[in-house]
């Protein structure tokens, strides 16, 4: 028996259910339970009953239980990684499914360790502390299903809330598996995962029992959640779509930055909200940067993630394959230069789209202006830095961005002019459980991670006098 099979057996529907398929082969991995709004109502009642006792445990005991939950995840880490690979597609190795399974336990431990107590308000006798919201509802994405689920439920639980979560209908088994593992140590009712489609998601966001909603996904769906929840005014954290720009200055060593540039764009086959999705390169180093990137791309091995030697896997859904294919074909038709890739086998099984670099592209092409969320990077030539910054800021997205330079001080100065929640210097897309993360403009609002992330899933209380 493969290591994942026992874990899978614990979470699949006992009969019927929604099929979850392997994006590398199209074969069914398992059937997820098809939960209903009635199941949601039962989960809410259970959460309401469990939450006061969970809150009463206090920070120290809740942190201890989150540590124990991390131990449970670590004990089944390989099984969880294999299941993520089979359902989502990312490779086991490198920054893939083993990394994601490790991030689940890592984020649980980091969240448990963050100190947060009563804080004095400077120059006054007042203090501020943070109380549980009560019930937190969360909806997760399909690109990093287990890791991002943990970003949502771990801080919410740490702050004394009960959590009801709906994963993406494309990757429910991975999140159900995380719940199976952590619920081996958590009290009954404080964390529930329900799998289902849009009807279930709409029921969750419209349910007035939730004092806080968390969502990671598209800007369009985020706007729908704002509208659906407006009647009962829950607090919201929305981490929405990004079209992250990178600006390369003329002083760089192209060979030195190529590896980090490539993985900043192609991590998880480009299916990451904070991936580098459009690259602006100064004309003095343009051809050298393009060539260095092509050398890295040509060495990357794409194939089924379950095969250890592969570093790039398939796109998770056929719909995403079609989006990337459409945008690249439009760029080719416009006269843009294909450096590498752009020739998928559309009839082959699996959603494999080759790592693609598109140079000499008009900055008004859809591949630049729309979030491709896949392995196709447009590389735009610029001559004037102010123009490059203007292009970087022109879109209604602002999740991440990056500046690449041999002079980090100069890069930081430029970073202050870019409209994004995070601007990285000589790196892109790296996250840390202690460093706050969130977007601006159409990329959403609210912060996750660190002390600010804990405060975001709590209610501030000021005592004055």
Q: What is the pLDDT of residues 44-92, one digit of tens each?
A: 999 999 999 999 999 999 999 999 999 999 999 999 999 999 999 999 9
**Closest C-alpha to 146, from 102, 190, 200:** 102
pLDDT classification of 181: cutoffs 50, 70, 90: very high
pLDDT classification of 3: cutoffs 50, 70, 90: confident
The pLDDT value recorded for residue 15 is 85
The CATH homologous superfamily to which domain 3-240+440-463 belongs is Aldehyde Dehydrogenase; Chain A, domain 1 (3.40.605.10)
pLDDT classification of 319: cutoffs 50, 70, 90: very high
Q: Which is it for the CA torsion 310, 258, 100, 173, positive or negative? A: negative
Active-site residue, 239 included: yes
Is the pLDDT assigned to residue 423 strictly greater than 60? yes
Arithmetic mean of pLDDT, 221-228: 96
pLDDT classification of 18: cutoffs 50, 70, 90: very high
**Closest C-alpha to 410, from 425, 423, 420:** 425
Beta bridge partners of 281: 248, 381
Beta bridge partners of 244: 276
- Vertex 50, ends 49 and 56: CA angle to 5°? 120
User: With 0-12 CB in 10 A as exposed, 13-18 as middle and 19+ as buried, what is 38?
Assistant: exposed
Arithmetic mean of pLDDT, 441-460: 98
Active-site residue, 273 included: yes
Q: Where do we find the tokens 């849009």?
A: 198
Is the pLDDT assigned to residue 298 strictly greater than 90? yes
Cα separation values, 197 from 78, 185, 273, 394, Å: 28, 28, 21, 34
Is the pLDDT assigned to residue 1 strictly greater than 60? no
Nearest-10 crossing angle of helices 145-158, 97-113: 10
- Vertex 269, ends 375 and 285: CA angle to 5°? 50
Please, what CATH class does the domain formed by 244-425 belong to? alpha beta
E-only strand ranges, 262-367: 276-282, 337-340, 356-359
Arithmetic mean of pLDDT, 329-352: 97
Q: What is the pLDDT of residues 116-155, one digit of tens each?
A: 999 999 889 999 999 999 999 999 999 999 999 999 999 9
The pLDDT value recorded for residue 62 is 98
Question: Are the C-beta atoms of 242 and 397 separated by less than 8 Å?
Answer: yes
The pLDDT value recorded for residue 327 is 98
* R_g of the chain computed on alpha carbons: 22
Arithmetic mean of pLDDT, 420-440: 98
User: With 0-12 CB in 10 A as exposed, 13-18 as middle and 19+ as buried, what is 59?
Assistant: middle
- Vertex 203, ends 199 and 205: CA angle to 5°? 115
pLDDT classification of 14: cutoffs 50, 70, 90: confident
pLDDT classification of 404: cutoffs 50, 70, 90: very high
Domain boundaries, the chain: 3-240+440-463, 244-425
Q: Which is it for the CA torsion 111, 77, 268, 152, positive or negative? A: negative
Q: From the candidates 100, 239, 371, 448, which is the catalytic residue?
A: 239
Q: From the candidates 273, 275, 371, 448, which is the catalytic residue?
A: 273
Q: What percent of the chain has pLDDT over 70?
A: 100
Beta bridge partners of 165: 138, 193
The pLDDT value recorded for residue 260 is 98
The pLDDT value recorded for residue 123 is 86
Relative to beta strand 356-359, strand 337-340 is: antiparallel
- Classify residue 396 by its DSSP letter: S
Q: What is the pLDDT of residues 205-221, one digit of tens each?
A: 999 999 999 999 999 99
Q: Where do we find the tokens 């990077």?
A: 377
């Amino acid at each position: 028996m493969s290591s994942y099979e026992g874990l899978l057996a614990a979470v699949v529907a006992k009969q019927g259910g929604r099929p979850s398929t392997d994006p590398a082969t199209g074969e069914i991995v398992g059937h997820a339970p098809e939960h209903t709004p009635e199941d949601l109502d039962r989960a809410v009642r259970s959460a309401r009953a469990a939450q006061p006792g969970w809150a009463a445990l206090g920070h120290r005991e809740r942190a201890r239980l989150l540590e124990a939950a991390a131990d449970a995840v670590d004990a089944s880490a390989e099984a969880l990684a294999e299941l993520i690979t089979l359902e989502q597609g990312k490779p086991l190795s490198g920054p893939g499914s083993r990394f994601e399974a490790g991030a689940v336990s890592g984020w649980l431990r980091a969240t448990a360790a963050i100190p947060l107590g009563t804080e004095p308000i400077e120059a006054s006798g007042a203090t501020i502390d943070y109380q549980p919201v009560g019930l937190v509802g969360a909806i997760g994405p399909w690109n990093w299903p287990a890791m991002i689920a943990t970003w949502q439920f771990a801080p919410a639980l740490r702050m004394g809330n009960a959590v009801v979560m709906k994963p993406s209908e494309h990757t429910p088994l991975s999140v159900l598996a995380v719940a199976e593992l952590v619920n081996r140590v958590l009290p009954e009712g404080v964390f529930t995962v329900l799998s289902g489609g849009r009807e279930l998601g709409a029921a969750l966001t419209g349910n007035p029992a939730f004092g806080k909603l968390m969502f990671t996904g598209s800007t369009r769906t985020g706007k729908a959640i704002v509208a659906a929840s407006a009647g009962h005014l829950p607090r919201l954290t929305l981490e929405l779509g990004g079209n992250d720009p990178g600006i390369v200055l003329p002083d760089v060593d192209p060979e030195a930055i190529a590896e980090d540039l490539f993985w900043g764009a192609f991590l998880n086959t480009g299916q990451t909200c904070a991936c580098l999705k459009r690259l602006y390169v100064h004309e003095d180093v343009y051809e050298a940067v393009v060539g260095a990137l092509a050398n890295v791309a040509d060495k990357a091995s794409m194939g089924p993630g379950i095969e250890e030697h592969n570093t790039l896997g398939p796109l998770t859904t056929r719909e995403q394959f079609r989006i990337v294919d459409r945008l690249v074909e439009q760029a080719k038709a416009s006269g843009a230069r294909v450096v590498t890739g752009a020739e998928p086998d559309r009839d082959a099984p699996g959603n494999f789209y080759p790592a693609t670099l598109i140079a000499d592209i008009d900055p008004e092409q859809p591949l630049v202006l729309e979030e491709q969320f896949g392995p196709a990077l447009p590389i735009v030539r610029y001559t004037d830095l102010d123009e490059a910054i203007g292009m970087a800021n022109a879109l209604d997205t602002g999740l991440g961005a990056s500046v690449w330079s041999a002079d980090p001080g100069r890069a930081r100065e430029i970073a202050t002019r870019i409209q994004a929640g995070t601007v990285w210097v000589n790196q892109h897309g790296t996250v840390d459980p202690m460093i706050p993360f969130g977007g601006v403009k159409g990329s959403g609002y609210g912060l996750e991670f660190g002390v600010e992330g804990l405060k975001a899933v709590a209610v501030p209380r000021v005592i004055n006098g």
